Structure 1
Amino acid sequence: MALLTFETAMRLLTQKKHQAVYDLAIEALRKNEKDPLAFFFIGIIASDHGQFEKALEFHAKASEHAPKNARYQAFHAKALMALGRTSEAKLRADTAAAFKTDDGFVADMIGSVYSRTGHHALALPLFRRAVRLNPKWSVFHFNHAACAQFTGDVKTAKSAYKKAVSLEPNFYRAWFSLASLETQTSDNNYLTKLESLFAKVGQDPDGRLFLGHAIAKTLEDLGRFPESLDWLEKAKAARKKRINYNRHNMTEMFAAATHAAQSRQRSQAHDVTPIFIVGLPRTGTTLVDRIVSSHAKVASAGELDLFTQLVERETQISRLNAEPFFSSAQSTDLQELGDIYAQQIAGLAEDATYLIDKTPMNFLYTGLIHQALPNARIIALRRNAMDACLSNYRQLFALEDRRFDYAFDLEDTAAYYRAFDGLMSHWRQTLPDDRFMEVGYEDIIHDQEVQTRRLLDFCELDWDPACLNFHENAAAVDTASSVQVRQPLYSGSIGRWQKYDGKLDGLKAALGALADQ
């Protein structure tokens, strides 16, 4: 039998010969029960098969037996990240980063863990190193570009996105990011190139999605709103057909969410008070995050998505399987789960006494959050229904995240909004008003100081004038609003739906009376 070497195992993995690699690793462990390379490859095999707990176990063994190996430490960090153990992942990334690597893939992996834990300033030099080590890998340039964008360096982001598409002309995600980075003008746009790529992409649903969204965004920037909507429909059609969205499943999910509400009233001794900012995506959640996190006592973890990951780990049930997920969550020890959450976020808060978890979709889990963390503040964003639905339809969400499947069709989006509005009414009636509040996006735009004071009062924070100058906040932003929130407030997106020359009449009819709210 051949010996286990890095090169041999990697070659076999590229050929999908997992069993052969596993056999080599087991044989290596028979000879040396502490062989880190064997544990490393068994960890990769486990991860490839979706066995993330097992993957963590084996990657931890590899890093334990080779503590100064950057690759093993990086994969250990990635395995922790896959299970939502963000604080531990960040610490393990620190360990990996301490050992300079000449492997661009390892540098990129450490940078990705830093980026996913919200430490974009730490990620940047790792992405730069990856690009230097492997300058012809387009994905390294893309990751560098995205990180630079999150930190507000639009010039570097633009250059890196351009490098990515020059190396890989069919890198559709990079083309979309490039078109989305800045407002396109008649003298400076990629419309001709994007239309040419779209004509050649065939029926590839992901390619059509990225390119069609990029074209739609460009046309919108150019003031051609009805055409923009037509392109969104073209962009989404193939993937919409593939996902076969089921509104009944959505209705069941919202119904299951209402089963959790009442607090188990207990005292808490957590050092950091969580502030959850929730709501439909693209309704001002990032704006409120920036306003409140500009306060001297508040830090932001961005879109942490930690709470539901902890519930999934405890119940062993996916959040997408709504009814058993909520039912099992109710029978778990939510107090203990809240304590685990508090421990996980403590390292992210640094010197702050409040930490923002801005995961918009937590609006579904608000009742569970209140039970697990009754001292947490929950701020729910509201926005005009027409603008909210249009903005969700316009947004290109993470393709692997099935929670956003409603956004491939305007009427499905309207149905989702109606369910969301009903759930907000439920939380309003069942949760204490000193723990749950709603704030209107339009109200913030029209009366920034009054709404800012209201937000700070709700969180029991003293007035801090820095909150009015949120656009000067230097912290990274890793959402679709990363460019906008670095600018002062503007009202241009209010009433945007009216620019589409009647093409949204179907949406308005689907919303009914809510369309005017």
Structure 2
Amino acid sequence: MESTSLPAIEEQLKTIQQLIQKAKFNDAISQAEALIKLTTDDSQLIELWYLLAVAQRYNKSPLTALSSINQLLRLNNKHSRAHQELGHINLALNEINKAKLAFEHAVKLNPCLVGSWQELIEIYRLSQSSNITPNPTQKSELQDKIQLAANQLAKLKTLPPALLAVTELMHEGKWLKAEQICRHFLQNNKRHIDGMCLLAEIGIELKIYDDAEFLLASSLELEPKHIHARAQYLNLLIRLGKYKAAQYQVDTLLNSQPENLSFKVAKANVLNGLGKTDEAITLFQQAIQQEDSIPGFYLQLGHALKTKGDIDNAVYAYQKAYQLNPSYGDAFWSLANTKTYRFTDAEIAQMQAQQDNEDLALTDKIQLYFATGKAFEDKEDYPQAFHAYQQGNQLQQANNGFDINKLEQQVDEQIKYCTAELFEQRGHLGYEAPDPIFIVGLPRAGSTLLEQILASHSQIDGTMELHNILGLASRLRGRNPNTESNQYPKNLSEINPDYFSRFGKQFIDETRVYREDAPLFIDKMPNNFLHIGLIKLILPNAKIIDARRSPMACCFSGFKQLFAEGQDFSYSLEVIGRYYQAYLKLMAHWEKVLPNFVLTVKHEEVVEDLDKQVHRMLDFCGLEFEQSCIDFHKTKRNIKTPSSEQVRQPIYKSATEQWQHFEQYLEPLKKVLNIN
């Protein structure tokens, strides 16, 4: 049986809502029941069972309504409004305790449900004044709950109805609908700071970071003392790796609230991002002394210690984090992500037990699957390892919205518009500084190893994966990427010629904060391979090294890795294979239109003959040979990527063909890569 079409069902859902509002409950019930028989689509059924339950409750049939809402909860046990409706139904059945539990669960899932908070206040007050007098401790707990509910209710009631609807939709994961309503509200309330902050939050969730950054910066221009807007802006800047700008924001916040612990921890994160890792560790430790029961503090301390290379204390910090919160997926994944930690049988059992927890947050579940996969791989139990990796990847892919077709379109546009003629006409206009060495390619292709080798040279500073080129490309794409005439990369042949030198100098100025004193520095953002043409135009004397690894090894290593952000293509064997093919296609184009601008360094050749490849890279960069590049594993520097511990060891060959242990599961990848 086929589902009814989306426009048709939406219209009929509106009709049912209108019937309920007009108290025509029998008609609403009849229409909902009829539609339920016509659709098999879960999202449609969820809406229909919800409206049916509401109509039945209003029609004074609470037992029938209870059956309907339970049907919905079987489809989606985390539907906040369904739990709220369950609370209302239980109240109608005089099941006060069940109602309380349902409302409490509803606001846990979505703290913006006004109706649930209102009912909870009444239930808590009823408990306080009941004939069975609670003991003093219970009275105090009830009073705290009343106060918490009243505070949240008061906060929600200050929001205009439209923004309250936006917050509810956001908590329900309906981001596009929330964005639509929020934008409409702001068209009529252009300086509404809370509205701007909500739209920025939606932008961050949808990864439209430039919009979010613009909104938050504008909010602070309008209202410089708005703490929430500044804190939100700070968090976004940290996420984007703009640590110098973040430093100003966090210092401003600490000036106004010097004892705010979350701002102190944010300061530590900023310092760690700026390479001041020892200062960051000290601040994290001070925060833990002040409040030692917050798992996230230990997790962030662990990250800083790992960056520094203090792996033993990093492991202790991660273990402390999961001891405080046994379902803390990030703590387990961080242990796995050291690449050297080996889980005990007890830890594996704990991770598997937590995966079955129905209340577990999706992010925790995904992290636990990836950590479990690593644990079983280390035990050479490859079937269980692949099953865990596959579970984690499927969940992550289902929730990241990545579209490989758009990436392939981007590649085609770069090939179409970044022609040899473009570089002949405009390739001499950029800023002539020779400072940057860009290492590009796919993640897990050996870029961290190349960075460690080069950063061991006295004339080169290692930095991190810098977001500046990606940010510039985003700005050139424009605020409305659907406007063809203003779209990057087409506009590279049209923009003011003076801009190229200005963009190049801006890159050098903005990245200086990550450097030390060497004349050259590395930016190892792998995704920059998409923008080599842009790099050539703004920094014609830059060096670009393509870190390349054999397709099966590279793609499967990416599939096993849970990335913090920015590599959403890596969670499907087919998609990662298509991404790899698109990358090869574009790199071949760059070689054609920019001959000798990119040096390709193959990971397998580095492993086989380190000396030869080190000489190749140094010759390409115009540098004399230094033995320290061969002895790269002895170099003391901060490293922020998953491979940090691996590149602190001498070259080893064992990882080059690890994918072969999983070969029987990798047919979808082989097919896309045309490997027999």
TM-score tier (shorter): 0.7 to 0.9
Q: Once structures 1 and 2 are overlaid, which stretch shifts more, 154-163 or 75-84?
A: 75-84
Q: Deviations over 1:8-55 (max 9, x none)?
A: xx97997595669x9xxxxxxxxxxxxxxxx99999678546542343
Q: 1:414 to 1:94 in 2, by over 3 A?
A: same
CA–CA distance in structure 1, aligned partners of residues 275 and 482 of structure 2: 25
Residues 1:218 and 2:375 aligned together = yes
CA contact (8 A) 2:216 2:230 kept: no
User: Structure 1 residue 155 and structure 2 residue 312: aligned?
Assistant: yes
1:319–1:13: structure 2 CA closer, same or farther, 3 Å change rule? Answer: farther
Establish whether residue 180 from structure 1 lines up as the match of residue 346 from structure 2. no
2:549 & 2:577 partners in 1: Cα distance? 13
**Separation (CA, whole Å) in 2 of partners of 1:321 and 1:493:** 46
Amino acid at match of 1:427: W
Quick one: structure 1 residues 207 and 123, their matched pair in 2 at CA, closer, same or farther if it must change by over 3 Å? same
Would the aligned equivalents of 2:432 and 2:541 in 1 still touch at CA under 8 Å?
Answer: no
Conservation of the 8 A alpha-carbon contact between 2:437 and 2:544? yes
Report the structure number with the largest CA radius of gyration.
2
Residue matched to 1:478 = 640
Aligned partner of residue 568 in structure 2, secondary structure: helix
Q: 1:506 & 1:260 partners in 2: Cα distance? A: 32
Select 1:410's aligned residue among 561, 565, 573. 573
Residue 444 of structure 2 is matched in structure 1 by 282
1:112-152: CA deviation from partner (whole Å, max 9, x where unpaired): 22233444333222222222222222211111111111111
Distance 1:159 1:320 in 2: 49
Aligned-partner SS, 1:471? helix
Greater relative contact order structure (CA < 8 Å, 6+ sep)? 1
CA distance in 2, matches of 1:149, 1:449: 28
Corresponding residue SS for 1:181: coil
User: Superposed, which structure 2 residues align to 1:369-408 within 5 Å?
Assistant: 369-398=535-564, 401=566, 404-408=567-571
Q: How does 1:18-33 map to 2 (within 5 A)?
A: none
Matched letter for residue 260 of structure 2 = D
For residue 358 of structure 1, what is the aligned residue in structure 2?
A: 524
Q: Structure 2 matches for 1:276-315, cutoff 5 A?
A: 276-315=438-477
Q: Is the 8 A contact 1:152 1:483 kept in 2?
A: yes
Q: Distance in 1 between matches of 2:330 and 2:310?
A: 19
SS of structure 2 residue aligned to 1:427: helix
| CA 1:393–1:92: 2 relative to 1, 3 Å | same
Establish whether residue 427 from structure 1 lines up as the match of residue 590 from structure 2.
yes
* Structure 2 counterpart SS, 1:169: coil
For the pair 1:55 / 2:221, whether they are aligned, the reply is: no
User: What amino acid sits opposite 1:341 in the alignment?
Assistant: F
Deviation, structure 1 residue 394: 0.8
Structure 2 equivalent of residue 260 of structure 1? 418
Distance 1:204 1:73 in 2: 27
**SS in structure 2 of the partner of residue 455 of structure 1:** helix
Distance 1:480 1:80, change over 3 A: closer
Q: 1: distance between equivalents of 2:265 and 2:329?
A: 20
Which has the larger displacement, 311-320 or 415-424? 311-320
Q: CA deviation at 1:503?
A: 2.5
SS of structure 2 residue aligned to 1:379:
strand
C-alpha displacement of 1:190:
1.8
User: Structure 1 unaligned runs (5+)?
Assistant: 1-9, 23-38
Counterpart residue type for residue 235 of structure 1: G
**How far off is 1:57 after superposition?**
5.0
Long gaps (5+) in structure 2? 1-150, 164-191, 204-211
In the alignment of these two chains, the number of paired residues is: 482
Task: Provide, for residues 397-439 of structure 1, a one-character-per-residue CA deviation record: whole Å limited to 9, x for no partner.
Answer: 235x4xx332222122211111111111111111131x31100
Change in Cα spacing, 1:162 to 1:312, as seen in structure 2 (3 Å) is same
State the Cα distance separating 1:315 from its structure 2 match. 4.2
Post-superposition Cα deviations, 1:266-300, rounded to whole Å, max 9, x if no partner, equal: 37666661110000000001111111111111112
CA distance in 1, matches of 2:202, 2:407: 28
Instruction: Report what 1:111 is aligned to.
Output: 268
Q: 1:138, 1:87 → 2: CA distance?
A: 27
Name the SS for the 1:200 alignment partner. Answer: coil
CA distance in 2 between partners of 1:206 and 1:320 (Å): 32
TM-score normalized with structure 1 length: 0.82
* More displaced stretch, 173-182 vs 317-326: 317-326
- The reply to whether residue 507 of structure 1 matches residue 669 of structure 2 is yes
Q: Rate the CA distance shift 1:244–1:55 in 2: closer, same or farther, 3 A.
A: closer
- TM-score, scaled to structure 2: 0.64
2:478 corresponding residue in structure 1: 316
Letter in 1 for 2:213: F
Higher deviation after alignment, 451-460 or 424-433 = 424-433
Q: Determine what percentage of the aligned residue pairs are the same residue.
A: 26
The question of whether the paired residues in 2 share the 8 Å contact of 1:85 and 1:344 is answered with no
Aligned partner letter, 2:418: A
- Secondary structure at the aligned position of 1:282 is classed as coil
Distance (Å, rounded) in 2 between the aligned partners of 1:83 and 1:499: 36
> How many angstroms apart in 1 are the aligned matches of 2:237 and 2:398?
35
CA distance in 1 between partners of 2:453 and 2:246 (Å): 28
SS in 1 for 2:521: strand
